[in-house]
Chains A and B, each alone.
Chain A
């Protein structure tokens, strides 16, 4: 009997899951409505079949397979499988009462959340031609684009296919891989659940790749999906299984970190970055890769100083525009690829509302006289008055001196006596020394404090020279009460307001600075008050610096006036420096009326989006603990990766492909399972006359992997190609390769295997080349290259040949290489660190194959090589 799980989840289990959530991210606490009893038995198999409402013939196949499973011994010729406990596994989990969602709306919220985290957004139909997402044992959602349906392509879950296409399933299921093939194929046949069924009719070419997503969510839930692909005569299909998607940004893209804005290329493991949830989380891996293809340039309203450059597939957090008048009524957020973004879609800028407050702080300031410089401690009260003084400094302050800064100076317009006196009084209060108020010079009055300590403090914490002004981290996270005073100080002395002479007679506030960083920081601080400002970059004539104006207009005007303690209609009309700036109030006005603050997001419409083709442009990305997202150029973007789990899971899938006459099928699998997973998958294809089948098989994850895709060349002129890539880091065994059976004349095949091992990792190539007696004129090439990254890594090669026909042309090449001292020395002599040099060499090694693979491969590889040495993850 199936148990009702709500009752049986005990407190301890829930606690563990919370820990995972805290530590590793997104193992959603999920209420399983049904699961079978732990362990394997005839009763469990019957239960699975019954829950699925299967016909008798399928149940019979399961029961027969179960007998085969019991009768076969555990394979001992490869990796150590003795630790798999078949009685400690749940063989069936069903996530919901509804067995199937026909549309995204029918998918339960918590599953949607998990998919969001996986980077499979609500807009998946835009992402993929048809995506089938598997959540544990049941396919909860599948979608096929209309065109495919019209062509007669069937892409559905295996479970559904049993019901809807029984004749096709009966005809092919288990014919390519019978249960008797091996113990794990038998197990899969007995307890299979989920997986994909694809049928491509005669002559149909499926151009867009169909992608299916698999993941094991529950601990100890075996996943036994079953995939059956039938390519009818003359059809063409490329199917890709990837565990995640990932995109990238160009160098210089500003990432919001807990220490301020940092160019993406300088982001390192361990840095804390702001995520789309408005909180800081740690970076756990970084990567850079060359990008060839489209590079998108995105500008958004509200900040004319920022252009975001992103690769075409990078997902952004957006609310899609619903109507042309820029006013969505329903604010739904989704992850959308750069190349699917449209003008006026709203980019989400999360608001960092975190508060870290101090009453007092001690700073070390370089001080002393003559040539002696010592760091002196400076203790300061961090209160509202002090923040106002900071505001004055940001607007009007500077420091001067000979050997170092001795003078702290604030220069105001002569008319601003109120602020001059306020500044003088504040300086005396916090630094215990009376400043000098100088005489009027060119309509200006300076307040000067002679204090090496004060001058050193301000130039050190807030920058000297107007271009370099910024606020440090401790200011960014202070309380709103203090920050209000900072804005006041800045605005009163350097800002302005105007309500005359412009179109519509509208009013606006603005604060000017020539520091682009300060402009953004100010914008972010104002967001904490729910005030939406716009940064307007003004390139000015002559040798004058580019000005960044932080405007507040429209509906935010009243909020700002209220914050500053002025009524919006009685603010002055003149600029503090007596000059008029060239700003278009009109533009500021419309811009802010486009934008919105919804909850913890400022939503900024895309103003311009364009792209160019680039070649080998280095692009950067990194992964973030838990939230799997970060801020690039101020807006939220996604990163994705496989989830990490604690104890062992078993993944024993079966993939059967039937390629009829003249058809072509390409199947790409990149498995990135976490290291506690046993990945024991059987993949086999039948290729009939002149058909061709390519397996591209990337094995990066899992603790123990045994996988040998095979092609049976059954018809004259058929061809098969197997590309196998394996990367074994510490505690990983990658036992992989390929099998080709030449069973007909004029058939050709190619096996290419590249493996990389490191530390205690072991890679094994296991290949079989069979040429039957009647198979004349066979051509076959086998090449396997292994790369060892250190002295402890191991690699084995076991090529088996069964040749019964002497007309065959066979070439076999195998190499084992070690990264040489001289290679590392050469690269390091050019300034590369040892880690970078190592990663570069390995990426070069697999480069010929990486071309045909999705880019995640290189990303994951780099993570393995770099992070495994530091033991940070995994």
Chain B
């Protein structure tokens, strides 16, 4: 699977947030987008998934060469796109398990046997150190910050996307939880080889997962591309040099 973003411009209520993003993510590749707060990273994630609030004013998003600009969110998901939410919404009274199974059925386009599904679930729950009582709970309802992040990874493990966008899988997690989350993401990466687009503020999680590509995003633009050495440099130097650079290019 291949996701291509070509000169993407996105506005929210008339204000341009993304000012021409180009990016290509293939199955099996690990991309990291770093950048300061407000640079448009989450906007990019939601625009790719088709959130109605984000208007694509120009540019193209393609999956395997076909434009997805006008596809509804659920159709994008069925093509194999997945978004791990930074702060997933809570939905009262909807069982996590039944929701996930319904999601899997609509993505796979076929019935999912309860037995195999639960077996898979239990495996993933224990490897994410979530505890069995998790099975009976409502969707994200009353989950702690850490549980929410883990539940998102759990969904990714079960839905087996072709390309997954992870919007800050590490924020708000303690050091042990970051390790567990990173290991599980790695496990998914090794087994089903999705293309990963990881959005993060800091480099700690990158200590557990080596990116193939690092992109620096500032003010709605990608201002630098590189390999994992780039994230090391950011760790030391911060974004300051890019922020000035960003504003220069915008002129």
Contacts and interface: CB of A to CB of B under 8 A. Distances in A.
Interface of A: 251-252, 263, 265, 290, 614, 616-618, 820-823, 825-834, 836-837, 840-841, 843-848
A621 to B, nearest CB: 15
Contacts of B72: 828, 834
A836 B102 CA distance: 9
B85 interface: yes
A32 B227 CA distance: 86
A616 B138 CA distance: 13
Interface string B75-104: 011100011010011011111011111111
A830 B159 contact: yes
A855 to B, nearest CB: 14
Q: Is the interface of A mostly helix, strand, loop or mixed?
A: helix
A831 B51 contact: no
B204 interface: no
Given A617-B114, A829-B76, 19 more contacts: A263-B111, A265-B105, A618-B102, A825-B51, A825-B52, A829-B77, A829-B82, A829-B83, A831-B74, A831-B77, A831-B78, A831-B103, A831-B107, A832-B102, A832-B103, A833-B74, A840-B94, A843-B93, A845-B93
A832 B106 contact: yes
Given A616-B97, A840-B102, A827 B91 contact: yes
Interface of B: 46, 49, 51-53, 72-74, 76-78, 82-83, 85, 88-89, 91-95, 97-107, 111-114, 138-139, 155, 159
Given A290-B98, A828-B72, A832-B102, A822 B77 contact: no
Select the residue from B74, B85, B139 with max chain A CB neighbours within 10 A: B74
Contacts of B102: 618, 832, 836, 840
Contacts of A845: 92-93
A616 B95 contact: yes
Contacts, number: 97
Contacts of A836: 102, 106
Which 9 pairs between the two chains have the least Cβ-Cβ distance? A847-B93, A844-B93, A830-B103, A251-B111, A844-B94, A828-B73, A831-B107, A831-B77, A831-B106
Contact of B74 (A251, A828, A846): A828
Contacts of A828: 72-74, 77
Contacts of A826: 85, 88-89, 91
A252 B111 contact: yes
Contacts of B82: 829
B92 A847 contact: yes
A614 B92 CA distance: 23
A823 B138 CA distance: 14
20 contacts: A616-B97, A821-B52, A821-B53, A828-B72, A828-B74, A828-B77, A829-B76, A829-B82, A830-B99, A830-B103, A830-B106, A830-B159, A831-B103, A831-B104, A834-B72, A836-B102, A840-B94, A843-B94, A844-B92, A847-B93
A219 B77 CA distance: 48
A365 B186 CA distance: 47
Contacts of A616: 95, 97-98
A251 B104 CA distance: 14
Contacts of A251: 111-113
A698 B78 CA distance: 36
A832 B77 CA distance: 8
Nearest to B76: A829
A837 B52 CA distance: 15
Given A827-B91, A848-B93, A834 B74 contact: yes
Contacts of B155: 830
B80 to A, nearest CB: 10
A823 B92 CA distance: 11
A841 B94 contact: yes
Contacts of A840: 91, 94, 99, 102
Contacts of A844: 91-94, 138-139
B35 to A, nearest CB: 22
Contacts of A829: 49, 73-74, 76-77, 82-83, 85
Contacts of A837: 74
A618 to B, nearest CB: 7
Contacts of A847: 92-94
B89 A265 contact: no
B52 A846 contact: no
